[in-house]
Amino acid sequence: MVAARRGQKKAAEYFERAIQNDPSDSDYHFNLGVTLTQAGDRAGAVRELHTALDRRPNDAEAKILLDALTTPAGAVVPSSATSKPPLERIEHNYEEDAFRQMTTQMESWAEQQFARSDPRSHARYHVELGKELLAHGFTTEAEAEFHHAAAVDPSSSAPLTALAEAYDARGDASEARTEAEAALRMRESAEAYLVLARLDLRENKMEAAAQNINRALQLEPGNAAGQELKRTLAAKLAEKAQPLSQP
């Protein structure tokens, strides 16, 4: 508990320094609000979330967390406000050392929070954090989260699918295909099939791409990424079918 509080204190100090450098950034105030919530400082968290909303009034996450903190005792709490607290948002311009310190603190807090939880929930946390890291360009850190998730819950295909997406993002087609196929051996998912479809398209394996896209859309007919890949495939096939122009 002492270690957790020390980690939260350091994280709060980092976000306070970030706010001093750029008071207009609503994400810094939101992050400090999340950290203070985890530390049990309700008043401080409410203050920072109000500031975040002043700077970005349509911030749904900040509003949900603020509602959860300010709903009077005995009142009906909106279902959206009873979910787990959101993760801190990651900025591209964080200094590398500060970023690594923050993620280490988040890891320490998460491991204590999930120590007695079921493996699936624990793994899901690391997959979600990894996806957030990957979306912001922290590929190595994201892959570490996905590997951790796979170790926590070896029966889940989600970490393997996420690893396939991470390897695909950094151009490692061989590893991406290996992880996607391993995920599909455990459980079919549109995401894993679409990883394979993207790899097939890049390798001009049109028939294999079509099969994987169709499998993905059979599982999730409304999948936007699958529909986009289907259009891309159709365009490539149409281009390939065009006759050569006569000189």
State residue 1's pLDDT score.
29
pTM of the model: 0.58
Q: Indicate whether 171 pLDDT > 60.
A: yes
- Min mean pLDDT across 8-17, 107-116, 158-167, 238-247 is at 238-247
Cα 81 to Cα 124: distance, rounded to the nearest angstrom:
19
- Min mean pLDDT across 84-93, 108-117, 133-142, 226-235 is at 84-93
The identity of residue 192, as a single letter, is A
Phi, psi at 223, each rounded to 5°: -65, 115
Q: Indicate whether 245 pLDDT > 70.
A: no
Cα 121 to Cα 26: distance, rounded to the nearest angstrom:
29
Give the list of residues 6+ apart from residue 73 with CB closer than 8 angstroms, or none: none
Cα 35 to Cα 28: distance, rounded to the nearest angstrom:
11
Tokens of 194: 């679409």
pLDDT digits (tens, 9 = 90+) for 204-224: 999 999 999 999 999 999 999
Residues of the chain above pLDDT 70, percent: 74
Tokens of 60: 């749904």
State residue 65's pLDDT score.
85
State residue 39's pLDDT score.
81
Q: 171 and 183 in contact (C-beta within 8 Å)?
A: no
State residue 67's pLDDT score.
86
Phi, psi at 67, each rounded to 5°: -60, -40
Fold of 1-72+79-93: 1.25.40
State residue 196's pLDDT score.
97
First to last CA, the chain: 78
Give me the mean pLDDT over the 23-32 stretch. Answer: 85
What are the residue ranges spanned by the domains of the chain?
Answer: 1-72+79-93
pLDDT digits (tens, 9 = 90+) for 77-132: 444 444 455 656 655 445 555 565 666 666 666 666 676 778 888 888 889 888 87
